[in-house]
Amino acid sequence: MKKPPGEEPKDALTVTPPQKWAAGVPAVRHALEYSLEQTSPGRVGETLLTMNQVDGIDCPGCAWADPAPGKRHRNEYCENGAKHITDEATGRRITADFFRTHPVSELGRRSDMWLNQQGRLTEPMVKRPGSDTYEPISWHDALGLLAEELTALDSPDEAVFYTSGRASNEAAFLYQLFARAFGTNNLPDCSNLCHESSGFALHETLGTGKGTVSLDDLHHTDLIFLVGQNPGSNHPRMLSALEEAKHNGARIIAVNPLPETGLRRFKNPQKARGVVGPGTQIADRFLHIRLGGDMALFQGLNRLLLEAEDARPGQVLDHDFIRTHTTGFDEFAAHVRAVDWQDVAAATGLTREEIEQVRDEVLRSRRVIVCWAMGITQHKHAVPTIREFVNFLMLRGNLGRAGTGACPVRGHSNVQGDRTVGIWEQMPDSFLDALQREFGFDPPRAHGLDSVDSIRAMREGRIKVFLGLAGNFVRAAPDSAVTEDALRRCRLTAQISTKLNRSHTVCGDTALILPTLGRTERDVQADGEQFVTVENSMSEVHTSRGRLRPASPLLLSEVAILCRLARRTLGDRVDVPWERFEADYGTIRDRISRIVPGLHDYNRRVVRPGGIQLPNPVNEGVFHTATGTALFTRNTGEAPGVPAGHLLLQTLRSHDQWNTVPYSTDDRYRGIHGSRRVVLVNPGDLAELGLTEGQWVDLVGVWTDDTERRAEGFKVVPYPSARGCAAAYYPETQVLVPLDSVAEFSNQPASKAVLVRLEPTTAFT
């Protein structure tokens, strides 16, 4: 038998029962082990102790908010945050020699994990047309080459500028300024793949794309829904907030096809009871829902609430809120009253009694919060589902009051800030007008390409240059074969990166690696040491200051790279002081403060402990919608069907990875050790499909086109996932997600609902 493809070390799967509680002492031990493997004890201490402290480094992991300045722990980080930061602060280095001995074609056969493990990128590299090897190039020549390719385009719209949510506000602002001054709105970002559906639905119904909940709201509420989210692995510090909420009397309802460990019990390593005691039970109620069943669940719940109002008129709904702040109630109510219970049962896999019990919890709660993440946004009907959450919240006035609201839990540490400062292919005219006033050029008005449309355009040869600011576009995007082919059609692909990844191995005719400083590193420019600023999931903007010596003297900061590139490309075509911006990031923030509402007086306010809280109009009763009110909506859309012989597959994260970058082959909480090539299937489905535990299978995608999408060599693991619903890790399964399988309205890949067949493997013969 051949070894499974793309996996190092060799498959050595062991499966243990899923863990019953999250975090606790082992989490801290795992974090330190990983850290010490990567770098020295001194560097570990230096980074970890300033992490998420006032004037320290903002964790480059998730976007969860920090407690108020006086309430932070000495160690204000989680196991995974510690891993992310030491992954960047690693002592390992990639030099020009490395690329001499590893041609691009060979790197392309390595696993994502192996590529990341090689260490930090240290100098600019170029792969020339016809060559299979990266060779060193000076910064001057690298940026000159990129500028030349950009200026040679027939139209600025033949370039795309991708951003991943690690980029600071300063870098992101300059990036969009450069793209728009150059003449295009082609600014796809990771948000297109992440919370685009949330942004769309919230904008439409509430007039803002952001969540309305603060940490304080979460701490003091009566009922929290955790829908489509795995906080134990992906937002571990959220567990501390949930624990506090529980200690204050809140109840929690988790809705998930998987009984995730972090939803069960949390042992807080920062507290004595977490180290020695049984920890805190997180979810009081668990709804074992089918993939894509959430809209039906909330419609059923909304129907029950309307009927409760019929039974006790004036006592269930918040008529005052509905009258003063909303439109569309009657149409919505008529629609939801007609919801069919059989449809709800089929879509959710839940019984009516279970939903009635949830209704009773809701009726007992004066304050309710709904939290959600990728389990909601990455579905075909994501936008209507989130609109239904909004309907649900508004029925009882759970919006704009303390302890209530909508909480899309963001992924990347600054994904929200990047949007605030202009990374979006469809920024509103008010922003573009402000840009025009400030810098005197006329920004393009036509909407640009998002991530999925960028791939389509590349595939059709309409895009010639791809530039990535952070991230790993090739692995983050769906339909690997299609996306890789699309990228290879470009004349030039260039990546501003800290670590090696797959996107460096899928090259246009020419390819550039532009290595940059990470957040952990000291950033010294002409006017002295600089800091950057970022915005978390709760709209708090604060500083992040790195302390470590840069991984290489040849690294430039993202800001410096962008300023130099802009000067080389645009010359004096626009009146932007790029050199000043590079020397003193405060001058960038001055400009932002005049363009972005809420960031006025940016430099002075952001350095105060805790930073700036951006206002959320919803919490002031203001709705920037077409009607000036919040909207009730009527939502339709069938839950994804699962024909006999098939499974619906969700592609998700393990406990030990950061998005496209696996750190190990373990997923401790789910009891998976030694391999990521596993598919988790309900035991009942296994029996029905005639499959056995431990069997090797290929996952074969089923879509409306005739393209075969096959992910080879996965081991079957029986797992308590909802019936008909399987799970496997992203990005290994990226090859299965069809480019055209997207959420309606938001154009976000539906990577949590991929129809597959499981076939005996062809990989090892």
Ligand X SMILES: Nc1nc2c(c(=O)[nH]1)N[C@H]1C(S)=C(S)[C@@H](COP(=O)(O)OP(=O)(O)OC[C@H]3O[C@@H](n4cnc5c(=O)[nH]c(N)nc54)[C@H](O)[C@@H]3O)O[C@H]1N2
Contact positions vs Mo ion (CB under 5 A): 194, 411
List 653, 668, 709, 715, residue binding ligand X (CB under 6 A): 653
List 107, 239, 347, 496, residue binding ligand X (CB under 6 A): 496
The interface region with ligand X, picked from 254-262, 546-554, 608-616, 709-717 by CB under 6 A, is 254-262
- Between CA 89 and CA 611 the distance in angstroms is 25
* Element of type H or E holding 204: helix 196-206
Find the shortest distance in angstroms from Cβ 742 to ligand X. Answer: 12
3-state secondary structure 23-73: ECHHHHHHHHHHHHHHCCHHHHHHHHHHECCCCCECCCCECCCCCCHHHCC
Buried b (16+ CB within 10 A) or exposed e, 10-35: ebebebeebbebbbbeebbebbbebb
504 and 475 in contact (C-beta within 8 Å)?
no
Q: Given phi > 0 = left and psi -120 to 50 = alpha, else beta, which region is 273?
A: alpha
Residue 498 binds ligand X (CB under 6 A) = yes
Give whichever of 194 and 308 is closer to Mo ion, judged by the CB atom.
194
Residue 716 binds ligand X (CB under 6 A) = no
Find the shortest distance in angstroms from Cβ 627 to ligand X. Answer: 30
Residue 385 binds ligand X (CB under 6 A) = no
Find the shortest distance in angstroms from Cβ 490 to Mo ion. Answer: 24
CA atoms within 13 A on the CB side of 416: 26
Residue 472 binds ligand X (CB under 6 A) = yes
385 and 379 in contact (C-beta within 8 Å)?
yes
List 259, 411, 417, 701, residue binding ligand X (CB under 6 A): 411
Find the shortest distance in angstroms from Cβ 78 to ligand X. Answer: 8
In whole angstroms, what separates CA 602 from the centre of its chain?
26
Binding residues for ligand X restricted to 267-296, rule: CB under 6 A: 289, 291-292, 294
Residue 142 binds ligand X (CB under 6 A) = no
Contacts of 542 (CB under 8 A, 6+ apart): 58, 66, 533, 534, 536, 606, 610, 611, 612
Q: Looking at the DSSP assignment, which residues form a beta bridge with residue 85?
A: none
Residue 516 binds ligand X (CB under 6 A) = yes
Residue 34-63 contact track with ligand X, rule CB under 6 A, x = bound:
--------------------------xxx-
Residue 451 binds ligand X (CB under 6 A) = no
Question: ∠402-405-408 over CA atoms, to 5°?
Answer: 135
Binding residues for ligand X restricted to 527-556, rule: CB under 6 A: none
* Element of type H or E holding 492: strand 492-497
List 734, 741, 746, 761, residue binding ligand X (CB under 6 A): 734
CA nearest to 524, candidates 509, 545, 506: 545
Residue 412 binds ligand X (CB under 6 A) = yes
Residue 497 binds ligand X (CB under 6 A) = yes
Find the shortest distance in angstroms from Cβ 44 to ligand X. Answer: 18
| Tokens matching residue 92 | 């390992």
112 and 501 in contact (C-beta within 8 Å)?
yes
Residue 186-225 contact track with ligand X, rule CB under 6 A, x = bound:
----x--xx-------------------------------
Binding footprint of ligand X, residue count (CB under 6 A): 61
Q: Is 534 helix (H, G, I), strand (E, B) or coil?
A: strand
Residue 370 binds ligand X (CB under 6 A) = no
- Between CA 478 and CA 748 the distance in angstroms is 10
Give whichever of 691 and 742 is closer to Mo ion, judged by the CB atom.
742
Residue 752 binds ligand X (CB under 6 A) = yes
Give whichever of 483 and 593 is closer to ligand X, judged by the CB atom.
483
List 321, 581, 623, 730, residue binding ligand X (CB under 6 A): 730
Give whichever of 186 and 191 is closer to Mo ion, judged by the CB atom.
191
Residue 164 binds ligand X (CB under 6 A) = yes
DSSP 369: E
Positions that interact with ligand X (CB under 6 A): 60-62, 80, 164, 166, 190, 193-194, 227-230, 233-235, 255-258, 260, 289, 291-292, 294, 373-375, 378-379, 411-412, 469-473, 476, 496-499, 501, 516, 518-519, 558, 650-653, 657-661, 730, 734, 737, 751-752
